[in-house]
A = this chain, B = another copy of it.
Amino acid sequence: MALVGGIEAGGTKFVCAIGDHTGEIRERVEIPTTFPAETMEEVIRFFHAYDIEALGIGSFGPIDVNRESPTYGFITSTPKQGWINYPIVSKMKEHFNVPIGFHTDVNAAALGEGTYGAAKGLDSCLYMTIGTGIGAGALVGGKLLQGHSHPEMGHILIRRHPEDYYQGKCPYHIDCFEGLAAGPAIEARYGMKANELEERSDVWELEAYYIAQALMNFILILSPQKIILGGGVMKQQQVFPKIRKQLETVLKGYVDTPNLQDYIVSPGLGNNSGIIGSLILAQQALHGKY
Q: Chain B nearest CB: distance from A197 CB in Å?
A: 26
Name the residue on B nearest A216 (C-beta): B157
Give the residue among A152, A160, A225 with the most B Cβ atoms within 10 A. Answer: A152
Q: Is A255 among interface residues, defined by CB-CB distance under 8 A?
A: yes
Q: Chain B nearest CB: distance from A185 CB in Å?
A: 17
CB of B222 within 8 A of CB of A157, answer: no
Q: Chain B nearest CB: distance from A131 CB in Å?
A: 18
CB of B172 within 8 A of CB of A148, answer: no
Q: Is A256 among interface residues, defined by CB-CB distance under 8 A?
A: yes
Q: Is A13 among interface residues, defined by CB-CB distance under 8 A?
A: no
Cα A236 to Cα B158 in complex, Å, equals 27
Q: Chain B nearest CB: distance from A248 CB in Å?
A: 13
Cα A156 to Cα B216 in complex, Å, equals 7
- State which size class the interface on A falls in: 35 or more
List of B residues within 8 angstroms of A258 by Cβ: 148
Cα A113 to Cα B148 in complex, Å, equals 17
Proximity bits, A152-184, B CB within 8 Å = 1, else 0? 110111111000000000001100000000000
Would you list which residues of chain A between 79 and 137 have a CB under 8 Å from chain B?
124
Name the residue on B nearest A64 (C-beta): B256
Q: Is A223 among interface residues, defined by CB-CB distance under 8 A?
A: yes
CB of A220 within 8 A of CB of B256, answer: no
Cα A47 to Cα B149 in complex, Å, equals 42
Q: Chain B nearest CB: distance from A143 CB in Å?
A: 5
Name the residue on B nearest A140 (C-beta): B140
Give residues in A with beta carbon < 8 Å to B.
62, 124, 140-141, 143, 145-153, 155-160, 172-173, 213, 216-218, 220-225, 250, 252-258
Q: A148-B258, A149-B223, A156-B221 are in contact. List 15 more A-B contacts (CB 8 A).
A: A62-B255, A140-B141, A140-B145, A141-B141, A141-B143, A147-B223, A147-B225, A148-B256, A149-B256, A152-B220, A153-B221, A156-B217, A157-B217, A173-B254, A221-B221
